[in-house]
Amino acid sequence: MTHQPRNSVQEPPARFAAADPPVRDCVELAAGLAYYARRQGLAHVEVSGPPVLGDLIEEFGLDEVRFVDAHQRPAVDIEATPRTWRCGQRGLRCLSDQLVDAAHAPPGRVAPASTLAEGTVLRFARHNRLGDALSIVTGLEHYCRDNAVTSVAVTGPPILAEVVEVFACERVRYAPPSDRAVSGDAIFARSSWSLPWLDRFHHAVSDTYAGRVRHRVAPLPLRQEPARQECEDVVYCQFDARSGTPLPLRSAHRLLSQVAAHGDVRVLGGPDTQYYLGHDLTYVRAELPEMVARLLSCRLFVGCDSGLGHLAGCLGVPGLIVSTDDFETTWSFFRDYPSLSVIPLAAAELLLP
């Protein structure tokens, strides 16, 4: 094995150019560049862009970042970097990696319209839960629409077939197992945790096959809208007892007691949840079409980071997601669902009597 000489290792870029990002992006970009400089061991980096970016760098005292009106090329164009980094520390790490990748990309590179072949079958085994299925089918459907891919297929767990059947997919179908299928699990594993959940598989496919990238994947509409019932005086609660970080039992009981003042409480869950929370509650288990109808007619949904939480978000059901693990991650997954609010468990404890 031959080793490259040490001086042949490509140096991390230290010059960046931002076109005209909005002020909110300038705030995170300034912090992200400072984090990048520290992570790469650089004394400082330079950035050009709108004057407000320089004002923010000075206001925040970011000694690692120097603002310049313009500088000599080469400089990494921040506009060429996918905007998937707006999420706290995880987002800063994501931005740091993307800045390096963008600097090493050939200048002027234009991604082909699509390299995902028509009729490709993606096989899933590990990503077999409702939240995964919603992300896979939604992300792949948007990718195909944006990149003129007429039809692809997914195969694997039944929940994928249910999501394809319930939601309006024009280009994604469910197929029987095939020896020629591509591992969708391997593609999904490459997706960034700083992305909203519906965006994750879309970006993973784009990174793997190139093509247009959508930075805000919208939920798919239902294939057939269920008959609308009058809003029931029901609050559906879902606390996944199988999660590695379930809601503490005392907190769950207090929350259930509190929401009972706003309607008839029904807990979405199976035997594991019933064993965990106790038998003196009303439990509901249903197939996906029935669950969609129930959620659309309920008064409120309260849950944790789960597939049913994502389903409620896709359907626009008003609700509350209680983060029992890392609030930053939970918020990043749910932040594009306008009907749902995400709060950390500590906040829920503070607000409950």
Question: Can you give the residue ranges of every domain in the chain?
Answer: 11-104, 121-209, 234-351
Predicted confidence (pLDDT) per residue in 105-132, tens digit:
555 444 445 578 999 999 998 888 999 9
Three-state DSSP string of the chain: CCCCCHHHCCCCCCEEECCCCCHHHHHHHHHHHHHHHHHHCCCCEEEECCHHHHHHHHHHCCCCEEECCCCCCCCEEHHHCCCCCCCHHHHHHHHHHHHHHHHHCCCCCCCCCCCCCCCCEEECCCCCCHHHHHHHHHHHHHHHHHCCCCCEEEECCHHHHHHHHHECCCCEEECCCCCCCEEHHHHHCCCCCCCCHHHHHHHHHHHHHCCCCCCCCCCCCECCCCCCCCCCCEEEEECCCCCCCCCCHHHHHHHHHHHHHHCEEEEECCHHHHHHHCCCCCEECCCHHHHHHHHHHCCEEEECCCHHHHHHHHHCCCEEEEECCCHHHHHHHHCCCCCEEEEEHHHHHHHCC
The number of angstroms, rounded, from the C-alpha of 183 to the middle of its chain's C-alpha atoms is: 20
Predicted confidence (pLDDT) per residue in 294-340, tens digit:
999 998 999 988 899 999 999 999 999 998 877 877 888 898 899 99
More confident residue, 87 or 131: 131
Instruction: Return the pLDDT at 252.
Output: 87
> CA nearest 222: which of 287, 150, 149, 134?
134
Handedness of CA 87, 89, 95, 101 (dihedral sign): negative
**Is the pLDDT reported for residue 88 higher than 60?**
no
- Residue 332 half-sphere exposure toward CB, CA atoms < 13 A: 21
**Is the pLDDT reported for residue 188 higher than 90?**
no
- CATH placement of domain 234-351: 3.40.50.2000
Instruction: Return the pLDDT at 6.
Output: 42
Instruction: Return the pLDDT at 244.
Output: 59
Instruction: Return the pLDDT at 2.
Output: 42
Instruction: Return the pLDDT at 142.
Output: 96
Instruction: Return the pLDDT at 201.
Output: 93
**Is the pLDDT reported for residue 154 higher than 60?**
yes
* pLDDT, mean of residues 50-68: 88
**Is the pLDDT reported for residue 181 higher than 50?**
yes
More confident residue, 93 or 32: 32
Q: With pLDDT > 70 as the criterion, what percentage of the chain qualifies?
A: 83
Instruction: Return the pLDDT at 108.
Output: 47
**Is the pLDDT reported for residue 19 higher than 60?**
yes
Mean pLDDT over each residue of the chain, to the nearest integer: 83
